[in-house]
Amino acid sequence: MVLIDGKKVSADLQEELSATIRHDRSITGKLPGLTIILVGQDPSSQVYVRNKAKRCKEIGMNSTVIELPDETTLEEILERIALLNADPETHGILVQQPLPPHIDEMSVTLAIDPEKDVDGFHPENIGKMVLGHFESCHISCTAYGILELLGRYGIETSGRHCVIVGRSNIVGKPMANLMLQKLDSANCTVTVCHSASKEIATLTRLADILIVAVGKPGFITAGMVKPGAVVIDVGNNRIGDASTKSGFRYVGDVDFDGVSTVASAITPVPGGVGPMTIAMLMKNTVNSFHRSNGL
């Protein structure tokens, strides 16, 4: 069984991006810039934003975090985004989700210039991805990271059956569309399971490649996996654990101990897909910098 180490792959990718950034600076005298807008005091979001800003600095990118209070209005957020859209030194804009309940997330997404939408959530980027125009769009970071993992581990995907459990706009839907594309790490027959699917275990046992993103700890068990399948666990669930200093630990949507006995390859949680999401955010920002500078 192969452990698909997202932490290592993301570190390798960061080194590659750092070298690219140094080379680009020697030509242009400029650096890629990512601005993150954080609205409110959600503890998890604060941790995610700190990690993203830290990664930017580690690879030599400019990073700015704009922290706004919970009571910030939609109009105030849109004004900030408009300024960033017009700023030539800002190549990526990320508005950390979730947003406070009074903020319409779609209005925020639509306000971001698609060229700077490094999360890959703008309808223009999604549409281009579906149509296969990858040279002019940003791909949703988690789905992009999974594609990168499959490629770097040399996992055969063409013609294989990929079953995706979950249909979220962030993971399930973009992942399904990517795996349909005629790409080196895709070109699959794709099935998508969701909350209304009947006999999910029957469908998951058909998968050569099983990608799970449902937010339910240990949802996929060994009996739901075909022997030899490749299993990608996108889940990141916090559960109580009195044996740890913090009193909790993170687990995936897959029962790792059981499934790892039948899978040919599997991602751990933590250390699998999670680190790749941030790495692909960095890559999208560098790609945006390239396009804005004609590189």
Q: Give, to the nearest 10 degrees, the angle between helix 43-59 and helix 6-28.
A: 50
Classified as helix, coil or strand, 1 is: coil
State the catalytic residues.
52, 96, 119
Query: Do residues 129 and 179 touch, judged by C-beta distance below 8 A?
Result: no
Q: How many CA atoms lie within 13 A of 46 on its CB side?
A: 7
Query: Do residues 69 and 100 touch, judged by C-beta distance below 8 A?
Result: no
| Inter-CA distances, 219 with 3, 7, 160, 167, Å | 19, 23, 23, 15
DSSP per-residue string spanning 160-196 = -EEEEE---TTTHHHHHHHHHSS-TT---EEEEE-TT
